[in-house]
Amino acid sequence: MVGIARDNYTLRTLSIGGLTLFAFSLHLLIRNTLRDPFHPDILLTIGHLIQFVIPCMIFATGFFNDIAKIESSHIYQVRFFLPEALFAVLVGQAMFNISFCIYPPCRIRAIEQSATKWTAFIILLAIAAWTSRLFMVLTNSYFHSRHSDFMFKSVLFSPMAIFSTMGRIVTAYMAIRIFKSKGIWKEKAAKIYLMAEIAWFLFSGVREDLLLTILCIILGYIIVHRKIPLLYSLIFLLILFAGSSFLHYYRTAMITQPASKKAPIIAASKQAIERQKKLGLKMSFFTVVDRLNDAQFTAGCFKLVPESISFLHGKTYKMIYWIPIPRALYPARPQFVVNYLSLAKPEVTSGSAPVTAVGEAYINFGWFGIPIVFFLLGLVYRGMDSIFKSRLTYNQAAILIFFSTLVARMTVNPAVSHLSWMLKIILLLIACRVLEQLACFRHKLSARADQ
């Protein structure tokens, strides 16, 4: 890549992207994803394909250059560094896969569960999730409104957001119960819960959370039936793709509405529909693909460092030491999120542009850091994968699905976020198994008493 004119980014991006696409597709074929897609190397490969490789190759064709130039899009500014971003992803993924090649993971299975009632673990988790969401509504932070300081200043927002995110475990559990049930009219309560979960994220306008919620349901089907519901998945993806542009403008309208405005959901929906009508098909397609393309922030890291910004020499990884300490107990704990906008403009303190896992490795240690960081992450994730190697109960299978959604998003989150969530999952598994053992013990005592 060195010594080739930057103007030839199209040829370089498509050639490196084609090589990466072939390598990743071959890896998925070998790993046989249709039977067991829950292992981290598979999930990370899929995440890199969807959020890096495919969007990069689409933008490299120059099809959106006219829109990107007019809109002053970030992708237009960093497009010359897309080849470096793709090559870095290829290197990182290859190093991550090494531990899974040396010690191939065994197949994960979910077992039958005879209990007809929801478990104590799921009930407690559902209460915690919806209590935190009620708290968000009361503090005016449900829509990430600019009129609420709670989400930016209060130390309570972080634990509330964590409990809300853990609601996906309950979603996965309900999906497993539904797909395990024999009769079509069974598990009505579980179906109502899933509809409430989808409605919560749908009205918030957060596309990522809505997508991950639906993904939990799809993964629940896969873990039960050992096959991918291709038809329903394609229909869902088409609907989500078609509605993604609308959700983008709906969310913007919700954030910018006056605090005194009544019926904000209706008003924001009308505003988003009016905005959508003014857009052409090409512009709508650009909005969706641009939002999906996290490789642009990795490319931005290659553009900024070291010309405009010096290497950080491990500064972001030092935050790992603070993982065991909750912010509620120590409000001065450093922020975990590494934001690309803050990297480019230190005066910007918030935003949704991720620095990405590959970008974080590069801005700390350069090209040398990418294989090292991803190799170490591969070892850690291989260890996490081995935790789920035994036969699973419904609860543990739901935690596995939750873990899988986090791995799929590992592509954009900093390493400290990965490790922090892994610690939480270990604690969840411990709590889950303790409650399951207590329930089993009580069942045995009850059986003895009946005898």
Report if residue 448 sits inside a domain.
no
pLDDT exceeds cutoff 90 at 137: no
Query: How far is the C-alpha of 425 from the C-alpha of 368, rounded, in Å?
Result: 30
Tokens matching residue 417: 């976020």
Q: How many domains does the chain have?
A: 2
The pLDDT value given to residue 443: 66
Looking at the structure, tell me whether residues 322 and 382 fall in a common domain: yes
**What single-letter amino acid sits at 181?**
S
The pLDDT value given to residue 347: 63
The range of the structural domain enclosing residue 373 comes to: 6-110+295-329+355-429
Query: How far is the C-alpha of 355 from the C-alpha of 361, rounded, in Å?
Result: 10
Report if residue 364 sits inside a domain.
yes
Report if residue 335 sits inside a domain.
no
Contacts of 63 (CB under 8 A, 6+ apart): none
Average pLDDT over residues 58-75: 83
Looking at the structure, tell me whether residues 101 and 64 fall in a common domain: yes
The pLDDT value given to residue 401: 95
- The three-class DSSP label of residue 410 is coil
Query: How far is the C-alpha of 403 from the C-alpha of 88, rounded, in Å?
Result: 25
Q: In this predicted model, what pLDDT tens digit does every residue of 208-232 receive, in sequence order?
A: 888 899 899 999 999 988 888 878 7
Contact status, residue 89 vs residue 20, Cβ threshold 8 Å:
yes
Average pLDDT over residues 164-182: 92
pLDDT exceeds cutoff 70 at 142: yes
Q: In this predicted model, what pLDDT tens digit does every residue of 335-394 receive, in sequence order?
A: 776 788 878 776 665 667 889 999 999 999 999 999 999 999 999 999 999 998 777 889
Question: Which residues share a beta bridge with 339?
Answer: 354
The pLDDT value given to residue 128: 95
Contact status, residue 169 vs residue 428, Cβ threshold 8 Å:
yes
pLDDT exceeds cutoff 80 at 29: yes
Average pLDDT over residues 254-261: 64
pLDDT exceeds cutoff 50 at 3: no
pLDDT-above-90 percentage for the chain = 41
Average pLDDT over residues 122-149: 83
The pLDDT value given to residue 258: 64
Residue with tokens 């968000």: 136
Query: How far is the C-alpha of 211 from the C-alpha of 72, rounded, in Å?
Result: 27
Report if residue 322 sits inside a domain.
yes
Give the residue ranges of DSSP H helices in 330-451. Answer: 340-344, 357-365, 369-387, 394-408, 415-450
- Dump the DSSP string for 227-241: S--HHHHHHHHHHHH
**Residue 116 binned pLDDT confidence (cut-offs 50, 70, 90):** low
Looking at the structure, tell me whether residues 282 and 301 fall in a common domain: no
Report if residue 350 sits inside a domain.
no
What integer best gives the mean pLDDT of the chain?
84
Average pLDDT over residues 195-219: 88
Q: Please identify, among 261, 289, 317, the residue that sits at the C-terminal boundary of a domain.
A: 289
Looking at the structure, tell me whether residues 201 and 242 fall in a common domain: yes
Looking at the structure, tell me whether residues 265 and 155 fall in a common domain: yes
Report if residue 436 sits inside a domain.
no
- Dump the DSSP string for 265-276: HHHHHHHHHHHH
pLDDT exceeds cutoff 70 at 47: yes
Query: How far is the C-alpha of 124 from the C-alpha of 126, rounded, in Å?
Result: 5
Looking at the structure, tell me whether residues 156 and 279 fall in a common domain: yes
Selected residue with higher pLDDT from 255 and 79: 79
**Residue 144 binned pLDDT confidence (cut-offs 50, 70, 90):** low
Looking at the structure, tell me whether residues 100 and 192 fall in a common domain: no
The pLDDT value given to residue 385: 92
Looking at the structure, tell me whether residues 245 and 200 fall in a common domain: yes
Looking at the structure, tell me whether residues 318 and 386 fall in a common domain: yes
| Residue 49 DSSP symbol | I
pTM summary value: 0.90
**What single-letter amino acid sits at 161?**
A
Closest CA to 233 of 28, 41, 397, 37: 37
Looking at the structure, tell me whether residues 212 and 63 fall in a common domain: no
Tokens matching residue 315: 């500064």
**Residue 43 binned pLDDT confidence (cut-offs 50, 70, 90):** very high
Contact status, residue 201 vs residue 209, Cβ threshold 8 Å:
yes
Give the total residue count for the chain.
Answer: 451
**Phi then psi dihedrals of residue 48, to 5 deg:** -65, -40
Closest CA to 380 of 354, 417, 434: 417
Report if residue 170 sits inside a domain.
yes
Report if residue 309 sits inside a domain.
yes
Lowest mean pLDDT among 77-81, 150-154, 322-326: 150-154
Helix (H) or strand (E) run with residue 297 in it: helix 295-304
- The three-class DSSP label of residue 216 is helix
pLDDT exceeds cutoff 70 at 44: yes
Looking at the structure, tell me whether residues 313 and 240 fall in a common domain: no
CA 279 to chain centre: 28
Query: How far is the C-alpha of 87 from the C-alpha of 55, rounded, in Å?
Result: 14
CA 113 to chain centre: 29
| Residue 94 DSSP symbol | H
Q: Is 370 exposed, middle or buried (0-12, 13-18, 19+ CB in 10 A)?
A: buried
* Torsion angle defined by CA atoms of residues 399, 230, 202 and 335, in that order, rounded to the nearest 10 degrees: 50
Looking at the structure, tell me whether residues 133 and 236 fall in a common domain: yes
